[in-house]
Amino acid sequence: VNDEQKKQWLNELFADYQGRLLRYTQRFVANHHANEIVQDVFLKLIKLDDPEKIKGRELSWMFCVSRNQAIDHLRKEKKMSSINSDDEIPFDDSIDKNIEKKESLSMIMKLISELNSTQKEVIILKFQEDLSYAQISEITGHTVNHIGVIVHEAIKKMKNNYQTKGRS
């Protein structure tokens, strides 16, 4: 193992992805939890036995680990407040909250807030994080075809709402 190269690799990943990872994680859990989760993700990355295994798909690996940690965290919270654990995983409540706070928030954010959680997540990964269907599939566990359908339906819904709002 070349130390310098590995260090460089880790530092690059840290510099490139910490913010995006945090932004994505924050959409599941509160900020301080998101910070903890992102820290855990990087610690896992550092301790990885076989870094070669994730070479070329570091981003989706980190997003996926982050996502799983966030979901675990949500499950724990839910258990404590005895809420049905089969509920849909809430994605980005903050979008809704922000809208209540700031009416000035972009039209697109409003449209996204009207989607269901799965759609929200996929749309964010696709259009904010600029990931491919394949990468989103790796992160969320949906098949690539399913991602295609989700994106398509979300866009259809958003476009409809956009036009209605534009008319009214």
Partner 1 sequence: MSKDLNDAKLTAYVLGELSDKEMKEIELLIKNDPKLKADVESIKSFTQLMRSELKVEPVPVLKDNVKQNINSEINKKLFLAKLFSWNSPLKIALSTGFVFVVCFITLDKFDDLQSTAPTNEVVELTNVEEASIDKEVVETPEAKVTFNNPKQKVRKKFTITSSNRKALKKSYSASRRSFKEGVSGGSKGVKASYKKGANLKSIRVDPSKTGLLSTFGSKGVQKKLSKSRSRKSFIVRDKKPEPIEPIIVEFKKPLAEPLSTFSIDVDTASYSHARKQIMSHSKLPSPNDVRIEEFVNYFKYNDKTPSGDEPFSVGLELSESPWNEGYELVRIALKGKATKTKLRKKNLVFVVDTSGSMNNIDKIPLLKDGLNGLVDQLNSHDTISIIKYAGSHGIHLQPTNGLKKDEIKQAINSLMASGSTNGEGGIKKLSQVFT
Burial 87-108 (b: 16+ CB within 10 A, else e): eeeebbebbbeebeeeeeeeee
**Segment near partner 1 (CB under 8 A); pick from 28-36, 60-68, 69-77, 79-87:** 28-36
Single-letter code of the amino acid located at 110: K
Q: How far is the CB of 68 from partner 1 (least distance, A)?
A: 19
Name the amino acid, one letter, at 83: I
Binding range to partner 1, per CB under 8 A, among 64-72, 78-86, 106-114: 106-114
Q: How far apart are CA 58 and CA 63, in angstroms?
A: 9
> Minimal distance in Å, beta carbon 79 to partner 1?
26
The residue among 16 and 87 lying less far from partner 1, judged by its C-beta, is: 16
CA distances from 18 to 25, 42, 51, 93, 126 (A): 10, 9, 18, 21, 18
Site of interaction with partner 1 (CB under 8 A)? 1-7, 10-11, 14, 18-20, 22-23, 26, 31-32, 35-36, 38-39, 42-43, 46, 49-53, 106-109, 123-124, 126-128, 130, 132-133, 145, 148-149, 151-153, 155-156, 158-159, 162
